Chain A
Amino acid sequence: EAGVAQSPRYKIIEKRQSVAFWCNPISGHATLYWYQQILGQGPKLLIQFQNNGVVDDSQLPKDRFSAERLKGVDSTLKIQPAKLEDSAVYLCASSTSGSGNTIYFGEGSWLTVV
């Protein structure tokens, strides 16, 4: 079974530029998550989708971050304009719906804003 796919793996951009990350979840997983992990910290949830609807985006900085999950499969996370403090690993994860589930992570997209 293929895992969660993410791209690009690494990206370096200047502040105020824009960047987009793509995620393809495990086939059949209805729930998709985007997490931000800053060095030395644990993953922090940015947004959670159930199929193509948003379940929770309370910690998404909506003035600069946006995410979509068209057709309930792939998802894109965009940052525009980027700030230095956005330097982090952006982790996509997916799970089946229901209780007692495990979430599975992709390898992450590493962003450096200079």
Chain B
Amino acid sequence: DQQVKQNSPSLSVQEGRISILNCDYTNSMFDYFLWYKKYPAEGPTFLISISSIKDKNEDGRFTVFLNKSAKHLSLHIVPSQPGDSAVYFCAASATSSNQFYFGTGTSLTVIP
């Protein structure tokens, strides 16, 4: 049972434009959400997180939006850069358990 879903396996965006990566979850107990970036042959690297008490968190070019009623979160990257090309995973956690569930990833390609 996939509790965290990323329905778009891939996304291509022109350099300088906005990249929007989406993630849906099913478990209403999840209250902490994270995005990871993964380059080939490397482990996932933490990018940005958001607690369920917020609906937006921003860090430089990266912004995560959370819609609790829709059980949906999204990662916005603006402006997109070629170095952003990677696989992005969203993850969700119920802080009472300290366990993390991951989506299947979205492969982002930023075209120069």
**Which residues of the other chain, A, contact B28 by a CB distance below 8 angstroms?**
none
Q: Interface size class for chain A?
A: 20 to 34
Interface check A75, CB cutoff 8 A: no
**Which residues of the other chain, B, contact A110 by a CB distance below 8 angstroms?**
41
**Which residues of the other chain, B, contact A98 by a CB distance below 8 angstroms?**
98
Question: Per DSSP, are chain B's interface residues mostly helix, strand or loop, or mixed?
Answer: strand
**Which residues of the other chain, B, contact A100 by a CB distance below 8 angstroms?**
32, 49, 51, 95
The reply to whether B104 and A41 contact each other, CB–CB distance below 8 Å, is yes
Interface check B112, CB cutoff 8 A: no
**Which residues of the other chain, A, contact B91 by a CB distance below 8 angstroms?**
103
Mark A residues whose CB is within 8 Å of B.
4, 6, 31, 33, 35, 40-45, 48, 50, 55-56, 91, 95, 97-108, 110
The reply to whether A43 and B99 contact each other, CB–CB distance below 8 Å, is no
- Residue pairs across A and B with Cβ atoms less than 8 A apart, 28 shown, are A4-B43, A6-B43, A33-B100, A41-B104, A42-B4, A42-B89, A42-B105, A43-B89, A43-B102, A44-B102, A45-B100, A48-B98, A48-B99, A50-B98, A55-B99, A56-B99, A91-B44, A99-B95, A99-B96, A101-B32, A101-B95, A101-B98, A102-B49, A103-B34, A105-B44, A105-B45, A107-B42, A108-B43
Most buried by A among B96, B98, B102, B104: B98
Most buried by A among B32, B44, B89, B96: B44
